[in-house]
Amino acid sequence: MSATLTYEPYRLPAGLLALAVHCIFFALLYFGFTWQIRTSETMSVELWQSLPEEVAPPPVPKVAEAVQPAQPEALIKPDIALPDKKDKRKAEAKPVVIKPDIKKTEVQATPQISEEQKQAEAEQRERLAAQQAAQAAREKAAQDAAIDAMVNEYKAKIITKIRRNIVKPPDVPDDARAEFRVTLLPGGTVLSAELKKSSGNVAYDNAVERAILKSQPLPLPADVAMFNRFRVLLLVFRPAELR
């Protein structure tokens, strides 16, 4: 098969147009790159050339040259007439009100007591004090008498109980007298029975001592405060009283 050449008249203008477009494109790339390099160089040169010179620090102001503050002008006092202090004190002073002394007035109004009245009142007070003292003495005497009566009563009871336990020995005279000092404990227990004065008959003295010890506990008042009156007793025993 043989190839036949055909003439295409539209291919030549198209090729030229493409070539022109490529040439323009390359030209734009070349000129654009060259312009960019020149622009960067120019800008760098301008930056170096535009650097400012060293700026000197501002001068420090001297103390002498400091601005002094303006002094305020002297205040002009108004010409006002002030009132006199003495007149002001006189105006402020309040009137003094004198109150009457009620106590003194009452004392003056009270009639004075005469010397006779004072003496009468003193005598009345003395009589009242004497009456009170006499009353107190009577009460104390009555109380002492009641205590003595109770003491004598219980002493009689003690002696009676002891006598009941005395075994009288033979041939003892009726006028014999044996005296004992008896010391008691609370409750009537005999602590000791000491012969103070012998009857002259030893048998009778011993019989009384045995009776004292045998009679304990001795009778005592129920009031404990009365025990001091019975702590130590002096008891006398006679044979004639045993009948």
Domains for the chain: give ranges and CATH numbers: 143-242 (3.30.1150.10)
Q: What's the whole-number mean pLDDT along residues 60-69?
A: 47
Tell me the C-alpha distance between 213 and 68, whole Å: 128
Identify the sign of the CA torsion 39, 41, 45, 47.
Answer: positive
Q: Which pLDDT band holds residue 8 (cuts at 50, 70, 90)?
A: low
pLDDT of residue 115: 87
Please report the pLDDT score of residue 233 as a whole number: 93
pLDDT tens track for 110-128: 557 788 899 999 999 999 9
The pLDDT assigned to 237 comes to 93
Residue partners of 235: CB distance under 8 A and separation at least 6: 155, 158, 159, 162, 179, 180, 182, 212
pLDDT, the chain, mean: 75
Pairwise pLDDT comparison (155 vs 27), residue with the higher score: 155
Higher model confidence: residue 21 or residue 199?
199
Res 111: pLDDT:
58
Is 10's pLDDT higher than 80?
A: no
Q: pLDDT tier at 82 (50, 70, 90 boundaries)? A: low
pTM flag (> 0.75)? no
pLDDT(92) > 80? no
44: alpha, beta or left? (left if phi > 0; alpha if psi -120 to 50):
alpha
Which residues are CB-neighbours of 7 under 8 A, at least 6 positions away? none
User: What pLDDT does 98 receive?
Assistant: 63
Single-letter code of the amino acid located at 68: Q
User: Does residue 191 contact residue 184 with C-beta atoms inside 8 Å?
Assistant: yes
Angle between the N-to-C axes of helices 202-214 and 115-164, in degrees from 0 to 180, rounded to the nearest 10: 110
The Cα–Cα gap between 33 and 43 comes to: 16
Choose the weakest-confidence range: 30-39, 70-79, 110-119.
70-79
- Does 89 have pLDDT greater than 80? no
What one-character DSSP code corresponds to residue 63? S
Residue 93's pLDDT band, with cuts at 50, 70 and 90, is: low
pLDDT tens-place string over residues 179-212:
999 999 999 999 999 999 999 999 999 999 999 9
Per-residue model confidence (pLDDT) at position 25: 78
Task: Report which of residues 129 and 61 the model is more confident about.
Answer: 129
pLDDT at 1 over 70: no
R_g of the chain, CA atoms, integer Å: 76
